[in-house]
Amino acid sequence: MTLAMQPRERAVPESGQTTAGSVRAAAPQLPEVRMPRHLLSAADLDRPTAEHVLSTAQRIEQAMAGREVRKLPTLRGRTVVNLFYEDSTRTRISFELAAKRLSADVINFSAKGSSVSKGESLKDTAWTLQAMGADAVVCRHSSSGAPQQLSAWVDGHVINAGDGTHEHPTQALLDAYTLRRHLGSLDGRRIVVVGDVLHSRVARSNVLLLSTLGAEVTLVAPPTLLPVGVTSWPAAVSYDLDSALVGADAVMMLRVQRERMSGAFFPTEREYSRSYGLDSRRRELIAEHGIVLHPGPMNRGMEITPQVADGAGSVIVEQVANGVTVRMAVLYLLLSGEMDNTATATDSAGGLA
């Protein structure tokens, strides 16, 4: 980065002018939009910023529509590392595709088949990535807070792609994007989130983001699958799915996470399915324009019946496509203009000298 700076400084001999130039160059950015340096939590995005990400995604979708070359040169020469400590199909492929569509170089790093299986710590891995000059690190980890730790160790931008039972902000963004496409503004829209809230990072991020965007979120789950302190969340809580579904604008089914079901959270799968599964009868309860979302992967027959998953008003496949678009927007907004802070600092220093 320092090397890239040098010709620029040489081209403009008067340092005072350079400072003025940086100030002026900053002008076109919308004043109220504050994109965080790392995307670790959906709470990092205030309403104008979240809406900026979503409208950027919409523009990118427009720009990609009907093109001969499905690629933009925007992040040419940047490196994005996908650091996945947990299994993932759609999130990893989605991030990989998003980075590649923006012409970034992508390195996929999964815990299996890397030095992690030999016992390398997260910190040592972070230093390795740092030394290799990763501009962005997309991190999925089974421990809540791992991406936050990572953000302290690397210079690049860290994007949380799911950490333990904590957060999954890009999933919330793609859900919000999908909802906006079908419902328009989310102000006052009633969205019901059903299932294993306790273990779901998707639910946490969605509650935060959707309430930021003005939607009314209702969480529905058996009491054993609701976290302690859920009453402090910006969402209503209910144990009765039928009454919560009546007139809802959208229903989001959460996956029952079998791998985290070590305790006895519900008696039998069949009983869970009867009380909290979305079948054709319950599908009829939501508003006529209502849509059905699922972050995937689905347990068909458990939390959702195949008839509903593949039926009218189901946007589950579209969610996957929107994931690529939204992640392109996040990568663009995080990675472009990266030189600006450094440049301003150097320029002001030059101005003082």
Partner 1 sequence: MATARPVRPAAGDAVPGGDGAPDARVAPPGGVQESSSESSATESATAGPSREIRTEILSHSDIARTIDRIAHQILERNGDRHVVLLGIPTRGVHLANRLSERLAAFAGRPAAVGSLDITLYRDDLRRNPPRALEETRLPDGGIDDAIVVLVDDVLYSGRTVRAALDALRDHGRPAVVQLAVLVDRGHRQLPIRADYVGKNIPTAFGDDVSVRLVETDGSDSVELARAMPTSGPTSPPTLPPTSPGTPGPGARTATSTTAPQGRGTPS
Check binding of 24 to partner 1 (CB under 8 A): yes
Check binding of 228 to partner 1 (CB under 8 A): no
Size of site (CB under 8 A) for partner 1: 39
CB neighbour class for 129 (10 Å; exposed up to 12, middle 13-18, buried from 19): buried
Pairing of strands 216-220, 136-141: unpaired
Nearer to partner 1, 76 or 123 (CB): 76
Nearer to partner 1, 5 or 287 (CB): 5
3-state secondary structure the chain: CHHHHHHHHHHCCCHHHHHHHHHHHCCCCCCCCCCCCCECCHHHCCHHHHHHHHHHHHHHHHHHCCCCCCCCCCCCCCEEEEEECCCCCHHHHHHHHHHHHCCCEEEEEECCCCHHHHCCCHHHHHHHHHHCCCCEEEEEECCCCHHHHHHHHCCCEEEEEEECCCECHHHHHHHHHHHHHHHCCCCCCEEEEECCCCCCHHHHHHHHHHHHCCCEEEEECCHHHCCCCHHHCCCEEECCHHHHHCCCCEEEECCCCHHHCCCCCCCCHHHHHHHHCECHHHHCCCCCCCEEECCCCCCECCCECHHHHCCCCECHHHHHHHHHHHHHHHHHHHHCCCHHHHHHHHHHHHHHC
Nearer to partner 1, 65 or 228 (CB): 65
Q: Which of these ranges, 118-126, 202-210, 220-228, 335-343, lies near partner 1 under the rule CB under 8 A?
A: 335-343
Nearest to 201 by CA among 174, 238, 163, 235: 163
Check binding of 35 to partner 1 (CB under 8 A): yes
Least distance CB 321 / partner 1 (angstroms): 18
219/192 Cα distance (integer angstroms):
6
Check binding of 25 to partner 1 (CB under 8 A): yes
Check binding of 48 to partner 1 (CB under 8 A): no
Nearer to partner 1, 62 or 121 (CB): 62
Least distance CB 102 / partner 1 (angstroms): 8
Check binding of 132 to partner 1 (CB under 8 A): no
- Binding-site member from 227, 313, 337, 350 for partner 1 (CB under 8 A): 337
- Binding-site member from 2, 28, 268, 288 for partner 1 (CB under 8 A): 28
Segment 232 to 261, residues that bind partner 1, using CB under 8 A? none
Least distance CB 165 / partner 1 (angstroms): 32
Q: Which of these ranges, 16-24, 84-92, 115-123, 273-281, lies near partner 1 under the rule CB under 8 A?
A: 16-24
Least distance CB 245 / partner 1 (angstroms): 37
44/204 Cα distance (integer angstroms):
13
Check binding of 336 to partner 1 (CB under 8 A): yes
Least distance CB 52 / partner 1 (angstroms): 7
Nearer to partner 1, 71 or 300 (CB): 71
In our burial notation (b when 16+ CB lie closer than 10 A, e otherwise), range 296-322 reads beebeebbbbeebbeeebbbbebbbeb
Nearer to partner 1, 19 or 110 (CB): 19
Q: Which of these ranges, 19-27, 123-131, 198-206, 217-225, lies near partner 1 under the rule CB under 8 A?
A: 19-27
Check binding of 225 to partner 1 (CB under 8 A): no
Tell me, residue by residue from 50 to 89, as one string, x for binding to partner 1 by CB under 8 A and - for no binding: --x--xx--xx-xx-xxxxx-xxxx---------------
Check binding of 29 to partner 1 (CB under 8 A): yes
Check binding of 313 to partner 1 (CB under 8 A): no
Residues that bind partner 1 (CB under 8 A): 8, 11-12, 14, 16-17, 20-21, 24-26, 28-30, 35, 52, 55-56, 59-60, 62-63, 65-69, 71-74, 332-333, 336-340, 343
